[in-house]
Amino acid sequence: MGRPPCCDQNGLKKGPWTPEEDIALVSYIQQHGPGNWRSVPANTGLLRCSKSCRLRWTNYLRPGIKRGNFTVQEEKMIIHLQALLGNRWAAIASYLPQRTDNDIKNYWNSHLKKKQTKLGHGLNAQTHDQDDSKGGTQTSIYRGQWERRLQTDIHTAKQALCNALSVNSKPTNGALDHKASPAPYQVASTLFGNYASSTNNISRLLQAWMKKRTPQPNSSENDLRTTAHHARYPENIIANSSYSSDDHNSNMFSGFSSSSDASQSMELQNVKTLTHTHQHPSPSLRGVRPAGVPYGAAEEPPALKCFEKWLLDDGGLAATAAGLDVDFMPMPWPLGEDLPRF
């Protein structure tokens, strides 16, 4: 026998989410954490299917999501990663943890794809927009180089993690953090850390929301508009509540909900400890994030730094594109095989 059905498909609401629905969802996740989506509609009274709830959370309400214009660096990374990984947006998004796969996908389709088409040469010639079967050996070679480089980077990150763990480090600065990469056995801790930090931001979001809800003189209509606007652009709520994704390391926990109880405070302490050593899981080439492990709260994968550095290093890219072997590290596993799962 299978499981019972997650939800009744009849009478479910579709279309844009209302602020009330968002609050209901955020409140529930604040209490129970993300995951177990099938129970969300039943327990919140939302007339939405579990899928819709998950989507709303991961693409929109999840803390740490950066919205708005993409930076030049982000753009470059997306272009390069798309060339390497194809339209595997989740995998690409894992290198841009502040962006959702949906966001990146939309950005690619609406901006970069056209840009690439206009250019007509250069990187575009290597992208997966073209049929791989037509790409010929040139593309294969090119992608092979990229994959080798990516594998190297992951290996570097893995080694850094081993080093970090072996010395049972108590990092006092961020240097080590950026080199350590977590293994899946750390995922539970990562999840905990992410969620706890998320709670902070959700609390702020809720507080900001409640503030907005309190009647302001001569602003009843504006409130409605603001509400609708925040429903569409909730990042502004977070921004208005003085959360900045850029200073998450120092401030992420400093403003933990003033009404938080003792257990939350204890969580906070644990989270502070955890976040010194636990970072994102290494993005895998398969692009499949461990189930229920969101990349939250403006964290940055430690391996990202050097990978990003390399990605944005046009010299390296040019050399690679030209077929030159640029400083590859020895590979611990044979080329062409699947990456080992750490």
* Residue ranges that bind DNA, judged by CB under 7 A: 1-7, 13-17, 35-38, 48, 50-52, 54-56, 58-60, 67, 87-91, 101-103, 105-107, 109-111, 114, 232-233, 287-289, 291-292
Which residue number, 92 or 303, has a Cβ lying nearer to DNA? 92
Which residue number, 15 or 315, has a Cβ lying nearer to DNA? 15
Residue by residue, DSSP assigns 211-271 as: HHHS--TT-HHHHHHHHHHHHH-THHHHHHTT--GGGHHHHTTTT--TT--HHHHHHHHHH
Q: What separation in angstroms does the CA of 109 have from each of 68, 88, 135?
A: 16, 13, 21
Residue 123 DSSP code: G
Q: State how far Cα 179 lies from the chain centre.
A: 18
Across 129-159, b (16+ Cβ under 10 Å) vs e yields beeeeebeeebeebbebbbbbbbbbbbbbbe
- Provide, rounded to whole angstroms, the least separation between the CB of residue 98 and DNA: 13
Which residue number, 32 or 272, has a Cβ lying nearer to DNA? 32
- Provide, rounded to whole angstroms, the least separation between the CB of residue 218 and DNA: 22
- Provide, rounded to whole angstroms, the least separation between the CB of residue 231 and DNA: 7
Which residue number, 37 or 142, has a Cβ lying nearer to DNA? 37
What value, to the nearest 5°, has the Cα angle with vertex 59 and ends 111 and 5? 130
- Provide, rounded to whole angstroms, the least separation between the CB of residue 175 and DNA: 29
Which residue number, 101 or 267, has a Cβ lying nearer to DNA? 101
Q: Which of 111, 100, 68, 96 is nearest to 234 (CA)?
A: 68
- Provide, rounded to whole angstroms, the least separation between the CB of residue 280 and DNA: 13
Which residue number, 4 or 315, has a Cβ lying nearer to DNA? 4
- Provide, rounded to whole angstroms, the least separation between the CB of residue 160 and DNA: 24
Q: Are 342 and 158 within 8 A, CB to CB?
A: yes
